[in-house]
Amino acid sequence: MIPLFSTNQVREVDDYAINQLGIPGLVLMENTSIQIFSYVLERTQHLKKRKRIGIVCGKGNNGGDGFAAARQFSNHGFSVCVIHIGIEEEMSPDCLSNFRYLSGLSKSNQEIFIKKYDSEKDLRYLADCDIILDAILGSGAHGRLKEPYNSIVSDLNKMKAYKVAVDIPTGLDADTGYAESVFNADLTVTLGELKKGLFFGDGYTSSGDIEKGNIGINDSFFDRFEAEEYLIEPEDVFNILPKKKKNEHKYSAGKVLTIAGSGSLPGAALMTAKSAFRVGAGASVLSIPRSVRKLIFKNISEVIVKAYDDDGKEFLSELNFSEIDERLDWADAIAIGPGLGREEQTQQAVNEILKRKSNKKFVIDADAVFALNAGRFRNLNLKNSILTPHYAEFSNLIGIETSELKKDTLLYGKEFVKETGAYLVLKGAPTIIFTPSGEALINSTGNPGMAKFGTGDVLTGTVAGFLSQLKDLEKAAITGVYIHSLAADLLIKDYTEFGFTATDIIKKLPAAIKFLISTFND
């Protein structure tokens, strides 16, 4: 897995390089400018025009990186327009040095234009630029952007140029991944090491492609830090895929019980049960109200249905526990929740099942997550469970607004798993897996085409299918989340992000596993 770091950790290494190793800050800035130039040149080859670059520089070291980069682009034939915010007396020492170097060059080079920002009208000088470089605040942004920064970022976002952020898009909190207003980059060249806030929340949507710029400090200097956030790599998943034995049979290959579906949402249950089969489970049994069975009968195929007597009510209640008790004991993994309904009797049944069978391995989703609201989850032993809510469901579960959750997703996720001992799969773009040990594992597959009804039900079955084979909560969560989204990525080639459905993802799950195996066996 790729470790992701906090801004404080990266700054500590910068300080160590300058104060202990004696590397001048200006040298680090020069290395940064070379990296920025190299990555921008590489990433803009598709542009018909890329001869004029606009750079907006702040007063701190991020601005200094921008001034240094301006020299690199000028030296390679670019026309450079620099707008700087603040006067010389407000600049950091290294920023000031690079500002003066660039100012000196501009006296003999008419292709370097430098202008102090006085009003929004000054941004008109950037109107015809092919590339815009954001070197305003970097990792120094926390909370709402003050003026003039907020207006500058808003105006820059409206420009059609290819946009590049130096280290961090201005406005983004590099630790929480949250921003109220933020520079929307096509490329972010992050410096020193990868910052965690770039890979989830607003960072995920505003950072564009992310490249790590080596500023002249060996990566080994970061070994002293223990990362808590990681980006999942394909090799991580390949290494924990279930291994099939030659003498495998249907009951040794993994037994999944799905308790799902109701009169209002019968299809969700079927998608969950089918997904478990598609990732290698040997047996997939669906437990559903008897009065609902006829609604899904034509689509059952290989899934075995063990209906319970609901007396025509079309939902689960505590009275059904005796009927499904034996099936609960039989299963290696139990998926519970998709389409189950939110009747009070159903909620009581869910809590009773989780209470009585706390020794069993559960994947808890959708309506089963809802059944744990109002603090009911605190009365249960969830150490053998994986919960798979989306942001709104998780917010309701812990009793906060979704807007509040997004301000510090990592904090709330880690607090929940620390309190419950459960694994949390927080579905989103991207999905984040929180482990009881305090780590957050960020998925690296997936696309916007997954934002459709049913994809969450498929994920539940996928995770349960792997859990039945691996018998390990963390490995099942990682493998299920990654393969589920990889299947969606493979579908883009045929359907684009507009045309595929949750059912298509189910069908593509075997191909996703094959693709991963082929990648590392070739």
pLDDT tens digits for 42-91?
A: 999 888 777 899 999 999 999 999 999 999 999 999 999 999 998 999 99
Q: How many residues does the chain have?
A: 522
For residue 278, give both structure tokens: 């598609």
Give the mean pLDDT of 480-502.
95
Give the mean pLDDT of 380-400.
97
* Predicted confidence band of residue 301 (pLDDT cuts 50, 70, 90): low
Domain ranges within the chain, ordered by starting residue: 2-231, 247-521
Homologous superfamily in CATH for domain 2-231: YjeF N-terminal domain (3.40.50.10260)
Give the mean pLDDT of 382-392.
98
| Percent of the chain scoring above 90 in pLDDT | 80
CA separation, residue 239 to residues 141, 193, 236, 478 (Å): 38, 25, 5, 11
pLDDT, residue 193, reads 87
Of 73, 56, 66, nearest in space to 95 by CA? 66
Is residue 245's pLDDT more than 80?
no
CB contact at 8 A, 292 and 270 = no
Higher confidence at residue 14 or residue 307?
307
* Predicted confidence band of residue 298 (pLDDT cuts 50, 70, 90): low
CA separation, residue 38 to residues 32, 35, 45, 209 (Å): 10, 5, 11, 14
pLDDT digits (tens, 9 = 90+) for 327-376: 999 999 999 999 999 999 999 999 999 999 999 999 999 999 999 999 99
The neighbouring-strand residues paired with 335 are 258, 363
pLDDT, residue 66, reads 96
Is residue 224's pLDDT more than 80?
no
CATH number for the domain formed by residue range(s) 247-521: 3.40.1190.20
Give the mean pLDDT of 268-292.
93
pLDDT digits (tens, 9 = 90+) for 256-276: 999 999 998 888 999 999 999
Is residue 221's pLDDT more than 80?
no
Rounded distance between C-alpha atoms, residue 175 and residue 64, angstroms: 22
| Percent of the chain scoring above 70 in pLDDT | 97
